[in-house]
Structures are given as C-alpha cells and as structure tokens.
Amino acid sequence: MYKYSPSPITHCCFLVNAGSRDEAEHKEGLAHFIEHLLFKETTRRNTSQILNRLELVGADLNAYTTKEYTCVHASLLKPHLERAIDLFEDILFHSTFPDEELEKERGVILDEIASYLDQPEEAIQDDFEDLLFKGHPIGKNILGTTESVEALNAKDIKGFIKANYNTAEMIFAIYGDYTINKIVKLAEKYFGNIPANYTPKSRIVPAINEASKIVVAKPISQTHCVMGGQAYSSSHPDKYGLLLLNNLLGGMGMSNRLNMEIREKHGIAYTIESNYTSLTDTGMFSIYFGTDSEKTDKAMRLVNKELKKLRGNKLGTLQLHQAKQKFIGQIALAEENRMSLIISMAKSLLDLGSVDTLEQIFDKINAITAPQLLKISNEILDEKQMITLLFEPKE
C-alpha cells in the first residue's frame, strides 16, 4: 500500500494480522514477546546490527502489539527507504529467536509487567477488559502474566508465527515521495520470494457478559473507576455514530460533556474520559475517572446523569452541528501525524479491504442524524447493562 507525500520524510509500517487474541490458553503475552524478539537476531544480523541499520541514518524504528495486530514501523529520510524494507523483511521472516536473547527479553517484559501493575489507571483498564470479555482471549492482558511469560519458549514462538503470520494477512504501507514503480520494484525485490503461508485463522466472536459491579481493594490513595460494555465492530454501520457520540461525551479536548460537568463544574476528578475501540468482530466502550474515595458516589451519579441525557433527549440541530464540526476538525488535525495515518490506513485495508478518503469520512460523519445518535445512546450507554469496576484504597 502506498500514499504519496512530497515530504522528505518517509513513514512506513508492516502490519501483521496477529495479536494477543490469537494466543492459546496459558500462552498469554506470546504475541508481544515475539514483537520484542524481532529486534534481537536474524540469520544475517545480530542485535546491534538490527538496531543500527536505521538509527545510523537518523531513522526511528519501533513496534507494538495490540489485541489483533503486530506492527513494526519506521520514520526516515527519503533516500533510506530501501534500508527499512531490507530490515523489515529480515526481522519479520528471518528472526532466529536464540535462547540467550529470549531469556534476556523475558526479564525485560517481566519488569514491564511489574511497572504496569504499579499504575492503577492502566491496570484497571486491563482488569475491566478481562471482565468484559470473560473467558475470551480478547480480555487478556497483551503483556501476559508473570506466570505465562515465565513459561514461554522458542517452540511456542515458532508455533505462533506458523499459525498466525499468514502472508495473505500482511500489509506493508508507505507514506512518502516515490513513484509507484519504485515501490513495486522494491517490494518485489525484498518480498517477492517469501514463501506463502495460508494457514487458516479461526477467531471466535466473544459472548456478551452480564452487567456487574465489582470493587477491589488496592494499596492506592485514590479511587479509580471504569464502566462500560461491548460495542460495535469496525464494520458496523453505526461505528461513526458511536465515534461521534464518544467524542461528544468524553473524547478529545476539555470541552466534552463529562469533563465540563465532573471536572470543571464540580471539581471532583482530575481525569475523566470515555473511549471507544472497534475490533473486527466486536468493540469496547468505557468511561474512566479517578477521584477521592469520598467523592466516588457523586462522580458516578453525575456520569450516569450525562448518560441519561443522551439516552433521553435528541441533540438539537445546533448541538449536532457543533459536535460534527469539532470531530471533523480533530480528525483533520490528526492527519498531520503521518505515521498514525499510514498505520490507520493499513488497518482499514486489512480489516475492510478498502481505505476511505478524508472526504468520505467527513461525509459519513455529516450524514449522522440526531435519531441515529439517540438509538446508539440507548444501545451502548445504558449503565444498567454496563460492567463497573472500582479500585478503592485499602482501609
């Protein structure tokens, strides 16, 4: 996949349709472990040579793992694209996963898990997802657990890659100043002889879990709360409606409804936000806030009050117009982040088989109606159907 830009800076990514939801039971953290080990040793390069291949020309190389993807990406000056493609091909298809590197990186990831658990605002989101998708791989922590990571071995790694690194489910995307002929020639040179792997993948759609409220005592000084439920998939016709609704309720900026009511008006939460993440066959909607323990009940009442407003009242013409203009402006500004843009386009191509232009996205947002948002609010924002998780300070 290629998008032209006259910039002297190139952004490129290699997206693999393999993430933490594809891990077998007791193998949690395997996809993330592999992502770390891709930078360690190949049949042609050692760790130092891998890391220096792009950094010696001032480029930035990184990677991350999600529930459904593994992504390696790089930003670099225009003349060095072939270096990046050469390196991507090497680490993704010729990594050797030596035992000594595996043990070193195991320690790094165990430290990462420990550090993550020390941050309640992060840990509560993972525990919430585990409740939301109880018994399903989507709910598991991408990092895995101490026990699962300690047990992973080279056989697990090679088995996961064979089962999930399907060559028909990979996207290499470039944003830069090249001719399409140059891109095709480089792709053929470095990826043309990669053996095909068409291992079929079977992902199970998660069941809907019942509403519940769970309180967990933690050695923390403030109460943290996440409430929410399952939501629309990336192909659902109401996805853009929920994106707009989420932005209005608790999305980017300081003027969203939750921030104005809970923080600005009542001053009872430093951070309050809502989030909607769509996956290929489901989605997640959640609201997070942190506050002093004695203010928790009031904060929850105020949150539920805002949800009730959206379920009970259609947006007026001016409110809907303003919400759309704000969201459209934020999307336009986000396009300045070229790396995020090219990764987003690659995901869209992988999941949906197409990529919408900015104008097409704006048309979809402008087509959203007040009755549609009211319907979405009643489907997604009913607190009686939500799972609520509270981390409270130990007495």
Domains of the chain, first to last: 2-191 (3.30.830.10), 212-393 (3.30.830.10)
pLDDT digits (tens, 9 = 90+) for 144-179: 999 999 999 999 999 999 999 999 999 999 999 999
Q: Give 264's DSSP letter.
A: I
Q: Choose among 200, 215, 137, 204: nearest CA to 169.
A: 200
Between CA 6 and CA 176 the distance in angstroms is 7
Between CA 108 and CA 36 the distance in angstroms is 9
Between CA 129 and CA 77 the distance in angstroms is 39
Residue 270: predicted pLDDT: 87
Between CA 215 and CA 181 the distance in angstroms is 59
Quick check: 131 and 206 in contact, CB under 8 A? no
Structure tokens at 109: 């990831």
Question: Looking at the predicted structure, is the pLDDT value of residue 65 above 80?
Answer: yes
Residue 68: predicted pLDDT: 97
Provide the edge-to-edge strand list for the sheet that holds 2-4: 2-4, 170-176, 9-16, 70-77, 60-65
Q: Choose among 276, 277, 269: nearest CA to 300.
A: 269
pLDDT digits (tens, 9 = 90+) for 168-219: 999 999 999 999 999 999 999 999 999 999 888 889 999 998 999 999 999 9
Where does residue 342 fall: left (phi above 0), alpha (psi -120 to 50 degrees), or beta otherwise?
Answer: alpha
CA 182 to the chain's CA centroid: 31
Model pTM score: 0.93
Residue 394: predicted pLDDT: 85
Residue 282: predicted pLDDT: 97
Structure tokens at 222: 């403030």
Mean pLDDT value of segment 55-77: 96
Structure tokens at 256: 């969203």
